[in-house]
Amino acid sequence: MTGQVTGALRLAGTARVGDLVLEVDLTVDPGETVALLGPNGAGKTSLLRVLTGLLPLSGGRLDLAGDLVDQPGSGTFVEPHRRSVGWVPQDRLLFPHLTVRQNIGFSPRATAERVTALLDALGIAGLADRRPSACSGGQAQRVALARAVAAEPAVLLLDEPSTALDIDSQHLIDGLLADGGARATVLVTHDPVEAATVADRLVILEDGRVTHSGSPTDVRTRPRTRYAASLAGLNTLTAVADGYTAMTVGGALVVLGEPATGPVHLVVPPSAVALHRTIPDGSPRNVWRATVAELQPALDRIRVVLDGPLPLVAEVTPGAVEVLELEPGSRVWAAVKATEITVHPA
């Protein structure tokens, strides 16, 4: 049944997952990449399950590639294997008894030529005759993505595709996503840097509802909720990494929680920058003396602009501003745990 709708994906419906009620209105156009972000428990993975057909709607309707696939009360429900959807779940779900080539070519719509092209594009041609158990985590993620893309779906769904990826895998996967043609892509990610660099549009999901939808610039400059504001002011430092340390362009040495090599961007959430009146004890690996340059109100928090060897922005409560007696010119100790720093290839 063909619906009179636009977009590769059009959802206006509700679904229940335990105590969470999803109530989502979302359209994704052909060729558009949408990054879906939100706090834990917001319903991001559940929304993908609705789109795949693994979680039926309780109300409303869902159209994919112009076809009505789910509408409670009308008798219309298209099974997952009949939807024009490619899905890469977090656990990848590769078939252990099939080779890499057989996994990628599993769909009846996947041609031999398409499989070979994807093996080459994702740098896994040498693994074609191996089983998934012989692949590294990054290689297995490439195989899962290739299998989803090989069927040439109208909509591609990716659930945290960059988790635990090596840099080479990340570059190859980003390249494949950028060359998606008319395919619509919905990418669930916890990483706002990945979202801002890969997606055309960001959609913020909180408590089962869309609270903001807009370009990366729109979400960054005009956040509508506390969570969206937390994505807005990420600190980014340009540096050169060598193992578990990196030297910034300003000459500051930063201890990392993950090894890296070469030019990188170090991303630090403002909430990860802790401020102290005296030098802190404990686990932080990066501690430095800083001067408060500016205080900026940000919804229910205060952004503290710091001058010093690491020119970052911290985010604290108004109560912390009072307790620490923060004002422009104040001297503080700033600290960031190495594990709070995300490393991205430059």
Per-residue confidence (pLDDT) for residue 167, from 0 to 100: 66
What pLDDT sits at residue 3?
42
Q: Report the C-alpha gap between 50 and 58 in whole angstroms.
A: 10
For residues 143-167, average pLDDT: 86
Per-residue pLDDT of 54-109, as tens digits, reads 999 999 999 999 999 999 999 999 999 999 999 999 888 899 999 999 999 999 99
- Environment class of 82 (CB within 10 Å of its CB; exposed 0-12, middle 13-18, buried 19+): exposed
Name the superfamily (CATH) of residues 9-84+153-232: P-loop containing nucleotide triphosphate hydrolases (3.40.50.300)
Q: How far apart are CA 308 and CA 306, in angstroms?
A: 6
All CATH 3.40.50.300 domain ranges in the chain, comma separated: 9-84+153-232
Q: For residue range 20-36, what is the model confidence (pLDDT) as tens digits? A: 999 999 999 999 999 99
Q: Which of 117, 113, 55 is nearest to 87 (CA)?
A: 55
Given a contact cutoff of 8 angstroms between Cβ atoms, the answer to whether 343 and 256 are in contact is yes
Q: CATH number for 235-345: choose from 3.90.1150.10, 2.40.50.100, 3.40.50.300, 1.10.150.240.
A: 2.40.50.100
Q: In the structure, how many helices (H) and strands (E) does the chain have?
A: 9, 19
Q: Is the pLDDT of residue 5 over 60?
A: no
Ranges for all domains in the chain classified under CATH 2.40.50.100: 235-345
Tell me the per-residue pLDDT of 293-333, one tens digit each, with 9 for 90 and over. 989 887 778 889 899 999 888 989 999 999 999 999 999 99
What would the pLDDT profile of 175-199 be if each residue is shown by its tens digit?
777 776 789 999 998 877 778 778 8
Nearest to 9 by CA among 87, 61, 76, 45: 61
Question: Residue 174: its pLDDT value, please?
Answer: 75
